[in-house]
Amino acid sequence: MHRQINDYLLDIEKAFSGDIKPLDMVLPGLLAGSVGSLVAPGSTGKGYLANSICASLTTVDLLGFGIQPTDCHVAYITAEDPISVLEHRID
């Protein structure tokens, strides 16, 4: 997508007019197209949460976050869990 300089300029008058689009949130507090991180001590459920969020984006809102399932593709990439652990989380 090619952007122009106007895509990066804030129009103060428009901002105060109330004529702005609502924010597209993937999750509460996480804007679509932004980067977030999930940080917590080990064995506190980060992987389970991430897996549940992925499932919620494509099926039903399993966690009650208000996620509207869409016709999308989700990639869950983990470098720490073997397949057997992922299978148990999904089950």
Report the chain's terminal Cα–Cα distance, integer Å: 39
Please count the other Cβ atoms lying within 10 Å of the Cβ belonging to residue 19: 9
Q: Please tell me what DSSP assigns to residue 45.
A: S
Report residue 84: phi and psi, to 5°: -60, -40
In angstroms, what is the C-alpha Rg of the chain? 18
**pLDDT given at position 41:** 93
**pLDDT given at position 75:** 81
pLDDT in tens, 7-34: 778 888 888 888 888 898 877 888 888 8
**pLDDT given at position 44:** 92
Q: Residue 62: left if φ>0, alpha if ψ -120 to 50, beta else—which one?
A: alpha
Looking up tokens 């208000």, which residue turns up?
66
- Give the pLDDT band of residue 1 (cuts 50, 70, 90): low
